[in-house]
């Protein structure tokens, strides 16, 4: 695995409402670790969007290419800079449905355009399909730092207000996941009327 550079980790995974300077659009990075249910980690990989292929789709392709033994259970933990878009959410649900021997957990630094109806539906689809989606807290940021960053042996140093931002994003996610589907549709209609 090519570890992430420290600067890339802080810039891309930072959960601040506004990206630190310079204000370039942040991209999606997905870092995952794969392990048998009762065993050590056998793979650590970092991916990013590339040539119109989202990191989540590249992740699915990578795991399929491994042709994991279907008689054995596997656990995959993913750390992503943005929660999946609706199309990627749908693909992740299909992947887990077709690979029942794989347990997948997603930890997102930020929610991708969380105010859009389709993105909310994608998050609800993941949640309903045995794919837990959670917001990264300092524990997950620290684990990501240790496992995927060329940290040169230095401990993780949280940025200002990391926990406050995580808690705010967690509340937002919880509200989305608890909102009934028809409420989402009514909210969308109201937005169109404005």
* pLDDT tens, residue by residue, 109-156: 999 988 889 999 999 999 999 899 999 999 999 999 999 999 999 999
* Per-residue pLDDT at 63: 96
d(CA 43, CA 177): 31
Q: What's this model's pTM, rounded to 2 decimal places?
A: 0.88
Q: Which residue has the tokens 């570890």?
A: 3
* Per-residue pLDDT at 27: 85
What CATH number should be reported for the domain holding residue 134? 3.40.140.10
* Per-residue pLDDT at 51: 82
Residue ranges making up the domain that contains 188: 6-192
1 within a domain of the structure (yes/no): no
Instruction: Tell me how many domains the chain contains.
Output: 1
Neighbours of 120 (CB within 10 A): 24
From the list 7, 38, 56, 163, the catalytic residue is 56
**Has 56 been annotated as catalytic?**
yes
* Per-residue pLDDT at 22: 54
Q: Is the pLDDT of residue 184 over 70?
A: no
Q: What SS3 state is found at 16?
A: coil
85 within a domain of the structure (yes/no): yes
């Amino acid at each position: 695995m090519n570890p992430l550079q420290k600067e890339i980790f802080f810039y891309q995974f930072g959960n601040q409402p506004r990206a630190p300077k310079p204000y370039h659009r942040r991209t999606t990075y997905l870092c995952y670790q794969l392990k048998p249910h009762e065993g050590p980690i056998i793979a650590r990989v970092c991916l990013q969007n590339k040539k119109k292929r989202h990191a989540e789709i590249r992740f699915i392709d990578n795991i399929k290419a491994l042709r994991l033994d279907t008689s054995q259970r596997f656990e995959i933990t993913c750390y992503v800079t943005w929660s999946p878009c609706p199309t990627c959410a749908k693909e992740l649900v299909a992947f887990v449905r077709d690979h029942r021997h794989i347990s997948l957990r997603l930890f997102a630094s930020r929610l991708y355009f969380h105010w859009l109806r389709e993105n909310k539906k994608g998050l609800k689809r993941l949640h309903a399909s045995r794919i837990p989606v959670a917001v990264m807290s300092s524990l997950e940021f620290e684990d990501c730092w240790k496992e995927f960053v060329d940290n040169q042996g230095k401990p993780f140093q949280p940025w200002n207000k990391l926990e406050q931002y995580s808690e705010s994003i967690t509340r937002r996610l919880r509200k989305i996941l608890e909102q009934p589907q028809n409420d989402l549709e009514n909210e969308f209609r109201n937005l169109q009327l404005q």
